[in-house]
Amino acid sequence: MSAESWKITLPCTREEGEALAFATDPFPGMEEPPVLNTLEPDEDRPENWLVEAFTEGKPTPEVIAAVQALVPSAARLKPVVEKVEEQDWVTLSQSGLEPIRAGRFYVHTSAHGAVIPSDATVFRIDAGRAFGTGHHYTTTGCLMMLDRLKRQGARYRMIADVGTGTGLLAFAAMALWPRAHAVATDIDPVSIEVTAENAQANGVNEDRLALAVAEGVDHPLYRELAPFDLVIANILAQPLIELAPSIAATIAQGGTLILAGLLNTQAEAVTAAYRREGLRPADTIRNGDWSILMLRKRRRMR
């Protein structure tokens, strides 16, 4: 396998790179899709990113065209297609993902597992088929918010992670509140497969974790286990707005909601949607261009 590793490289805009970071299935229907990696090679030129696509075996013209179709800004450019000698292609696809530290959490890929901080809560989340390695601003911001809630003395027993991606945020919450049970769902079946794999790799207590494919919170698990005293939804602004009534209905009185996947410019509209459902803003973390919102559900007066 190592002798037949190839890489396709194209320049892309920051906006395209961010969008690809969220893409759970950028090559629908492809039997052996490339593994994507997006990176910002020059901090002095923050709008100029690169997308790399790693393949096992020389990519066909169809695969190259599929990669190029993901990057409209590079439609007229010739991709760089090169053989990568004697190195594992999956490891290479993760080599640009440096470990991240968010509060007490330390998240790394297999390529950077040699030195682990002794004072950290550690997760190994490899890049690949699902969004949520911890390297995107929204995921990092959610980890920071969870850490902040724990430091403030919050306690939770029932947790839901809507749009779980790789399962990282559910795992983090379970580590902070070790008596809690969690539901992690995603609209993408691949994400649930990846979450199950990551749970096993990270020693997550699977007796406390229920997984399901679901659109939003439309699944029997939510109806059976609600209300939740902590709900995390790291999706995108428009789906968050559309799901506001159904997500709010799953939250216990006085419960906490963490929302992410929205730009700073979208925070007001998302907040307004949840205000209408009886939640009030309680905290915000701004991480780059992205906002992480924390809201609480009002308790009903008797």
d(CA 54, CA 220): 38
13 marked as binding residue: no
DSSP state at residue 235 = S
Residue 60: CB partners within 8 Å, gap ≥ 6?
A: none
Q: How many CB atoms lie within 10 A of CB 240?
A: 25
203 marked as binding residue: no
265 marked as binding residue: no
163 marked as binding residue: yes
Buried b (16+ CB within 10 A) or exposed e, 56-73: beebeeebbebbbebbee
How far does CA 285 lie from the centroid of its chain?
16
- Helix, strand, coil distribution of the chain in percent, nearest 5: 35, 30, 35
d(CA 5, CA 23): 23
Bind-site residues for S-adenosyl-L-methionine: 139, 163, 186, 234
Bind-site residues: 139, 163, 186, 234
